[in-house]
Amino acid sequence: MSSAAIDPRLANARAAPKRGLRLSWSDPMFRNIVWQVLIVGLVVAVVWYLVANTQHNLEVRRIATGLGFLSNTAGIPIAETLIPYDPAVNTWGRAVIEGILNTFKVAVVGIILSTILGTLIGIGRLSKNWLVAKVTSVYVETLRDIPVLLQLLFWYGLLQALPGPREFRGSTSWIFISNRGLKLPILVWEPAHWWALGACVLGLILTMAWNATANRRRDATGVKPPVWPAALLLMAGFPALVWASLGAPHEIDFPALKGFNFAGGGTITPEYFALLLGLTLYTAAYIAEIVRSGIQAVPKGQWEAAAAIGLHPGAVLKLIVLPQALRVIIPPMTSQFLNLTKNSSLAVAIGFQDVVSISGTMLNQTGQAIEGVGIIMAVFLAFSLSISLFMNWYNARIALVER
């Protein structure tokens, strides 16, 4: 036995008696093997039956299988797309990608907003201010207890009650809030803006590098050189310079009433806004509870000890309490992010075309139900695993390092 070699205490222990396999029901090893073979065989048989049955039925009904249909022209209209889409030219594959991007658009923005809102409300529940504490409690208890689908329908119904475009006739406003959504002036995007954006990212990286240098200098000398002038220069001044050197293009596209709709400008549709609002407000209620429990999990002694060494309240929260609270907060937070992403599939109810809606239409128009459902499952699995991986990485980073 190899264990004997590793653990010196076992060096003189007697090895287990060797014995062969007996073909008898009283032999536990034989029993185990029989059970395992039976269970594996059963699983294989069930899977085989399902696959064979499906294939047989598909054949009898002459339903084509495979993913070849993805390269056929889609023909279905899609209301809002992140990348250009033309139903006459683009394929089903492209339509599904539009759906994935739309889901992504809701999930990412929703996760960021609900985290910010949830954290504020969670801290608010612990506030000594009676009004703040009660208002946030009511928020959490109300929104957590109403099914999210009803909330979505409520917000969507509310947005539909806004005035129609015709009521803005003669208006010279730049921003329109109507039942067609929020219309905003947008910058006409040109290559110079990409360069400026690139310069900004570069500036951010340089600022972070400078911050690290400043921290080292603080450790060596006790005085931290100021960071904000460099940050301002690198992240605002530098991109502005790049933008100006490329001719400073700044054409703005204003929305205007044309015919019976608005034309031009950027749009946030009621469908997207209702979905984002509903998911954010709902998930924020859960996140608030997680944040509250995380902060309350930090022993009172930590607060008192931090105060005793003279840290001001902000520093106590930032340096002592939050790092410890985060260890409690992060794992359940991952579940909330996954929930928000999966709940985004309720978009079908209010007409936002996420990946479920587009795949649903696709499986109906092409009849490829198995493939369509497979695509939806694969997309959500990929989303969920990515979120889990990222959160596990972050969790490991902030975990208590034991020495």
CB of 296 or CB of 365, closer to other proteins:
365
Give the one residue of 44, 79, 175, 212 binding other proteins; rule: CB under 8 A: 79
Cα–Cα distance measured from residue 371 to residue 61, given in angstroms and rounded to the nearest whole number: 16
Query: Count of residues binding other proteins (CB under 8 A)?
Result: 43
CA-angle at 117, arms to 113 and 122, nearest 5°: 145
- Give me the least distance between CB of 273 and other proteins, in Å please: 12
As a 3-state breakdown, the chain gives helix, strand, coil percent values, each rounded to 5, of 70, 5, 25
Hey, what amino acid is at 283?
Answer: T
* β-bridge mates for residue 358, sequence order: none
- Give me the least distance between CB of 271 and other proteins, in Å please: 7
Give the one residue of 4, 58, 133, 322 binding other proteins; rule: CB under 8 A: 58
CB of 237 or CB of 367, closer to other proteins:
367
Hey, what amino acid is at 342?
Answer: K
Task: Please give the radius of gyration of the chain, using alpha carbons only, rounded to the nearest integer.
Answer: 30
Stretch that binds other proteins, among 99-107, 290-298, 363-371, 387-395 (CB under 8 A): 363-371
DSSP conformation letters of 313-362: HHHIIIIIIHHHHHHHHHHHHHHHHHHHHHHGGGGGGGT---HHHHHHHH
- Joined tokens for residue 165: 């475009």
- Binding of other proteins by 179 (CB under 8 A): yes
Stretch that binds other proteins, among 20-28, 29-37, 217-225, 347-355 (CB under 8 A): 347-355
CB of 196 or CB of 362, closer to other proteins:
362
Give the one residue of 16, 161, 308, 396 binding other proteins; rule: CB under 8 A: 161
Give the one residue of 242, 338, 350, 355 binding other proteins; rule: CB under 8 A: 350
Give the one residue of 41, 68, 147, 164 binding other proteins; rule: CB under 8 A: 164
Burial annotation 304-335 (CB, 10 A radius, 16+ → b, else e): eebeeeebeeeebbeebbbebbbebbbeebbe
Pattern 294-333, binding to other proteins, x per CB under 8 A?
----------------------------------------
Give the one residue of 127, 129, 364, 392 binding other proteins; rule: CB under 8 A: 364
Among the listed residues 269, 337, 284, 347, the one whose alpha carbon sits nearest the alpha carbon of residue 103: 347
Question: Residue 357 half-sphere exposure, CB side, CA atoms within 13 Å?
Answer: 23
DSSP conformation letters of 222-249: S-PPP-HHHHHIIIIIHHHHHHHHTT--
- Give me the least distance between CB of 118 and other proteins, in Å please: 29
Cα–Cα distance measured from residue 355 to residue 368, given in angstroms and rounded to the nearest whole number: 15
Residues whose CB falls within 8 Å of the CB of residue 73, separated by 6 or more in sequence, listed in order: 87, 88, 89, 90, 91, 92
CB of 133 or CB of 348, closer to other proteins:
348
Give the one residue of 361, 371, 383, 387 binding other proteins; rule: CB under 8 A: 361
Give the one residue of 271, 289, 354, 371 binding other proteins; rule: CB under 8 A: 271
- Binding of other proteins by 363 (CB under 8 A): yes
Residues that bind other proteins (CB under 8 A): 57-58, 60-64, 75-79, 87-88, 153, 157, 160-161, 164, 166, 179-180, 258-261, 263, 270-271, 348-351, 353, 357, 360-361, 363-367, 369
